[in-house]
Amino acid sequence: MKKIISLLLSLSLIFSLTACSQTERPGTSSEQLSADNSLETSDLQVPENFVLIKGGSFEMGSPESEAWRSADETQHKVTVSDFYMSKYELTQKEYEEITGSNPSNFSGEDLPVENVSWLDAAAYCNARSEKDGLTPVYTIDGKNVSWDKSANGYRLPTEAEWEYACRAGTTTPFYMENSPSSEDANYYGHYPYEIEDNYFSQGNLEVKPGDYRQTTVPVDSFSENPYGLYNMHGNVSEWVWDYYGDYSDEAQTNPTGPATGTLRVYRGGGWNDFAKNMRSAYRATLEQNKGSFNLGIRLVLNAAPSSGSVSGTEAQNTTADGNGKILIAYFSWGGNTEGIAKEIQSQTGADLFEITMVNPYSSDYNTVLDEAQRDQNAQARPELANHIDNMDEYDIIMIGYPNWWASIPMPVASFLEEYDFSGKTILPFCSHGGGRFGQSLTAIAKLAPNAAMGEALSIHYSGGSELSGDVSDWLNSNNIQTN
């Protein structure tokens, strides 16, 4: 009997240890992680609300069968090491405590900080590291930033780390079993996943349209993903370390992206994004010195000592000043964008060019919605009916378009691919029904990566009586001389 009891006690102990081991994974308390961490990270004390993301291998990118995937999401095998990630997006309170400023468009201590540039985010990481007695990770030399991988301070996740943490072991477009509703994430809830193909007949939709909050929400809103992370889809997008570039087809371990570039990557989608742009694999881009009202920060820390350094050198774009020759190129369907373009011309005297198609879209609203989403989903390049013969003469290109399905109409993509915009400055302007720019700025940046992008202008429908003033303010912000 004693042997049997002893055996049962041993089995019970083994079961307890196994259960303990299983819980010492993302989602455990900071106290548990700190205790475990003492064995793994040379006595680094893990800050509150950071969780351990156990490393592993996964397929980064999206399969070709995934609806609304982009061509830059080529699947490839990636292995990442253990790291710690904040459960939450960085709050305005946390940012202001370190920097003394709050650039956010929305106001609230527990709301995510937004409207921060990538360079702002790197500077914050260093400042908070110093405050907490850690070794700063980044060396910032103007626009060039290098990363000391041996430093134990706060940093931005790599693109691979971010996607690995977001997926949390899943291979579907989102980490949850079904695509997110507006009760699961903060986004443009009128446009759930695959609404584009089912706008007029929604019986086949997995998730029906819901609320559009038009603001950020507290960082602990909704449920966490299986790794214990909140708001990996929606609320604000999050900067990552990497410059934007093509993925390698080969298997990689702890990739850090290109060594140089003109655009940095951000991930996850924000409060004004369609669900398709919150997918785990979706890649958004912006110049590193710019911020946005739906773009914030999530911090990570090394989980074990590392070595080496990663250089980050910004490729130089020549930015045209406001005195260069200007072209206003626009695509308009219902007349709203045309009205904005003509107001810009009246204030600048710039040349005006309408982007038109050999086979124009239908004049029927319902039909053109179908045509527009069809072309976007296929990334079609409609043939254009007219062309610019003297593009080399222009220094500044103002590109106007309606925000269609949260991006640019495909005739604008055709226009952008037709010319070399190296050394030019692009100033986007768009008309919209509530989503502002959507991901149209990312679409433009990817198609014209060697151009500089100035401040963009979004106008609600036709702009009404405020159009003239809004255009004037926008021109001034870009140092454009007016009549």
Of 49-63, 83-97, 308-322, the least confident = 308-322
User: What is residue 372's predicted lDDT score, i.e. its pLDDT?
Assistant: 93
Cβ contacts of 322 within 8 Å, gap of 6 or more: 396, 478, 479, 480, 481
User: Could you give the CA distance from residue 113 to residue 428 in angstroms, rounded to a whole number?
Assistant: 25
CATH 3.90.1580.10 for domain 30-314 = yes
- Taking only the tens place, the pLDDT of each residue in 243-280 is 999 999 899 999 999 999 999 999 999 999 999 999 99
Q: 262 with 317: CB under 8 angstroms?
A: yes
User: What is residue 2's predicted lDDT score, i.e. its pLDDT?
Assistant: 39
Residue found under tokens 């699961």:
184
- pLDDT band for position 95 (cuts 50, 70, 90): very high
Look up the pTM and report it.
0.88
Average pLDDT over residues 57-85: 97
Strand order in the sheet with 76-80: 56-60, 76-80, 252-253
Amino acid identity of 139?
T
Where in the chain is CATH 3.40.50.360?
Answer: 326-477
SS3 176: coil
- pLDDT band for position 20 (cuts 50, 70, 90): very low
Average pLDDT over residues 81-108: 98
Paired strand residues for 430: 401, 458
Strand order in the sheet with 237-243: 284-286, 264-267, 237-243, 295-296
Residue found under tokens 């200007």:
326
Which runs of consecutive H residues, i.e. helices, occur in 351-478? 365-378, 410-418, 440-447, 467-477
Where in the chain is CATH 3.90.1580.10?
Answer: 30-314
Residue found under tokens 């998730």:
207
More confident residue, 321 or 67: 67
Q: Nearest CA to 50 among 228, 169, 225?
A: 228
| Homologous superfamily of the 326-477 domain (CATH) | Flavodoxin domain (3.40.50.360)
DSSP letter for each residue of 14-54 = HHHHHHHHHHSSTTS-HHHHHHHHTTTSTTPPPPTTEEEE-
- pLDDT band for position 318 (cuts 50, 70, 90): low
Indicate whether 97 pLDDT > 90.
Answer: yes
- Taking only the tens place, the pLDDT of each residue in 112-159 is 999 999 999 999 999 999 999 999 999 999 999 999 999 999 999 999
Q: Nearest CA to 259 among 145, 152, 159, 155?
A: 145
- pLDDT band for position 43 (cuts 50, 70, 90): low
